Amino acid sequence: MVRNAMPGPELSSTVRLMLNGAPQELTVDNRTTLLDLLRDRLDHTGTKKGCDHGQCGACTVLVDGRRANSCLLLAVAVDGREVTTVEGLEDDEPHPMQAAFLAHDAFQCGYCTPGQICSAIGMLDELAEGWPSAVTTGPVHPDDAEIRERMSGNLCRCAAYPNIVAAIREVAGA
Ligand code: FES
Ligand code: FES
């Protein structure tokens, strides 16, 4: 099979998006996921493919500031939207979440880490806005139970979970 072969015009679309602050415009096969667009067409390989089925969270990115599994999102669905990947988090200095993951040694192989970090950033915004989770019983606080529940869509096969929770707790100021 020829990778990235483009189908006829009836099966392709032009997609315009902001990727990490830079405008992008390209024609894509309508069946292309955002994950494959990022990795195969835009050379943004920081976003990882784990399961390709919405089960591991390795592919998590931020779309208009909200976390999303890019393997479940068609590229055509982000037309006109702002996408942030792990490559877009650093601004001269590492993002505070990246720094906290380093300080707390919150990874081993690192394969899940870009997704964990993007997810954690989106998750803290949800928490700050008061979104309840399955373990919320009153006012929302970034305690360990809330962090674990809200990060449960991001799996780590190296089981770095205690250090991941510690890193997120530090950024949350808890
Ligand atoms: S690669 Fe998207 S959830 Fe696993
Ligand atoms: S650090 Fe290896 S899968 Fe998470």
User: The domain that contains 58 carries what CATH number?
Assistant: 3.10.20.30
Check whether residue 122 and residue 144 sit in a common domain: yes
Check whether residue 28 and residue 70 sit in a common domain: yes
Q: By the 8 A CB rule, do 85 and 47 touch?
A: yes
User: What CA–CA distance (Å, rounded) separates 126 from 26?
Assistant: 31
pLDDT of residue 2: 47
Number of domains in the chain: 2
139 SS3 class: coil
* Residue that is last in its domain, among 86, 113, 143: 86
What rounded mean pLDDT belongs to the chain? 95
How many A from CA of 112 to the centre of ligand 2?
A: 5
CATH assignment at residue 157: 1.10.150.120
pLDDT of residue 4: 54
Does residue 27 belong to any structural domain of this protein? yes
Check whether residue 69 and residue 106 sit in a common domain: no
pLDDT at 62 over 80: yes
Which residues constitute the domain of residue 112?
Answer: 96-173
% of the chain residues with pLDDT over 70: 96
Check whether residue 65 and residue 29 sit in a common domain: yes
Does residue 2 belong to any structural domain of this protein? no
Candidate from 61, 67, 71, 154 with most ligand 1 atoms within 8 A of CB, to mutate: 71
How many A from CA of 114 to the centre of ligand 2?
A: 10
How many A from CA of 28 to the centre of ligand 2?
A: 31
**pTM for this prediction:** 0.93
Ligand 2 neighbourhood includes 135 CB (under 6 angstroms): no
Ligand 1 neighbourhood includes 57 CB (under 6 angstroms): yes
* Residue that is last in its domain, among 66, 86, 106: 86
Check whether residue 108 and residue 69 sit in a common domain: no
Check whether residue 105 and residue 68 sit in a common domain: no
What does the block give as tokens for 128?
Answer: 């700050």
152 Cβ contact list (under 8 Å, min separation 6): none
Does residue 82 belong to any structural domain of this protein? yes
**What are the tens digits of pLDDT across the range 34-57?**
999 999 999 999 999 999 999 999
Check whether residue 103 and residue 39 sit in a common domain: no
Give mean pLDDT, residues 55-67: 98
Length of the chain (residues): 174
Does residue 138 belong to any structural domain of this protein? yes
pLDDT at 77 over 80: yes
Check whether residue 106 and residue 160 sit in a common domain: yes
Relative to beta strand 66-69, strand 22-29 is unpaired
